[in-house]
Amino acid sequence: MPGTLPLRGTLLALFVALTLCAGCRAATKTPIPAAATDAQLAQTPGQQTAVFAGGCFWGTQSVFERVKGVVATTAGYAGGSASTATYPQVTTETTGHAESVKVVYDPSKITYGQLLRIFFSVAHDPTQLNRQGPDVGTSYRSAIFYADDEQRRISQAYIAQLDAAHVFNAPIVTQVVPLQGFYDAESYHQHYADSNPDNPYILVCDRPKVAALKAQFPELFQDHK
């Protein structure tokens, strides 16, 4: 992602971002169907973890940190080994890592299926293979890293449901794979969209995702503090 554009904040930089980010806005303009297979809301508060990869982790995090029931989010890397979980290494596209976001949520307030619905509809485009908009490579792939069999079952059933209903114009390419490890990204990547609101990439690629979340799921939207 072009987060360190030397022309940041200029009209030229904004034009570049508009050109590059044409394909990295929210995946849909209207809410997609809810998951037919889902967990029940828990009877008591608690914490569970979901890990999603959907292109640049700046945008994915900026969406999920604004979802009611989400306790915390962390940008990081999943899919590769701990020894290669650094941004300079991941950008070589040789580590097996995907830029990912760990979502800690309260299952008494939001279900895993509801998180998946947001992931597929506003966080990214699940039909783009190994890219999101201008960001190209396996580190920008669409993936669900499941923590247990229930998450695997719900994820696979939802993908099958959406594909069968032809919700998207192309088949979903999202990988559903077991979580082997999650490694926090560098501190400057954490909540990057909030810390750099005037970055042209953020303005064009990530702000529309947050706007889509608010418009499509007002009952789940909360301002990030």
Query: Is there a contact between 110 and 118 (Cβ–Cβ < 8 Å)?
Result: no
Instruction: Check residue 4 and give its pLDDT.
Output: 42
pLDDT of residue 66: 98
Query: What is d(CA 20, CA 201) in angstroms, rounded to the nearest whole number?
Result: 9
Kindly state the tokens that stand for 178: 């077991």
CA distance 148 to 185: 23
Q: Are strands 175-178 and 142-146 parallel, antiparallel or unpaired?
A: parallel
d(CA 207, CA 170): 25
Taking only the tens place, the pLDDT of each residue in 49-96 is 999 999 999 999 999 999 999 999 999 999 999 999 999 999 999 999
Return the percentage of the chain with pLDDT > 90, whole number: 84
In the predicted model, is pLDDT for residue 2 greater than 70?
no
CATH of domain 11-216: 3.30.1060.10
Query: For residue 109, which of 47, 202, 32, 21 has the smallest C-alpha distance?
Result: 47
CB 97 within 8 A of CB 105: no
Q: What percent of the chain has pLDDT over 70?
A: 88
Q: Are 66 and 123 in contact (CB under 8 A)?
A: no
- Distance CA(155)–CA(35), nearest Å, equals 9
Looking at residue 206, its pLDDT comes to: 95
| Annotation marks residue 24 as catalytic | no
Higher pLDDT, 86 or 7: 86
pLDDT of residue 11: 44
Q: Which residues of 50-83 are buried (b: 16+ CB within 10 A; e: fewer)?
A: bbbbbbbbbbbbbbbbbbebbeebbbbbbbbeee
DSSP lists the bridge partners of residue 50 as: 103
- Structural Rg of the chain based on CA atoms: 16
Residue 7, pLDDT above cutoff 50:
no
pLDDT at 8: 35
The whole-number pLDDT of residue 43 equals: 96
**Bridge-partner residues for 86, per DSSP?**
none
**182 HSE (CA, 13 A, CB side):** 23
What pLDDT shows up at residue 20?
A: 52
**In the predicted structure, residue 12 carries a pLDDT above the cut 50:** no
Cα separation of 193 and 124, whole Å?
15
Residues 161-178: pLDDT tens digits?
999 999 999 999 999 999
pLDDT at residue number 10: 47
Could you read off the pLDDT of 117-152 as tens digits, one per residue?
999 999 999 999 999 988 999 999 999 999 999 999
pLDDT tens digits, one per residue of 181-209:
999 999 999 999 999 999 999 999 999 99
| Predicted pLDDT of residue 127 | 97
Which residue out of 21, 24, 56, 205 is catalytically annotated?
A: 56
State which H helix or E strand residue 45 sits in.
none
Instruction: Say what the pTM is.
Output: 0.91
Residue-wise pLDDT for 21-33, tens only, equals 555 567 778 889 9
Please tell me the predicted confidence (pLDDT) of residue 19: 52
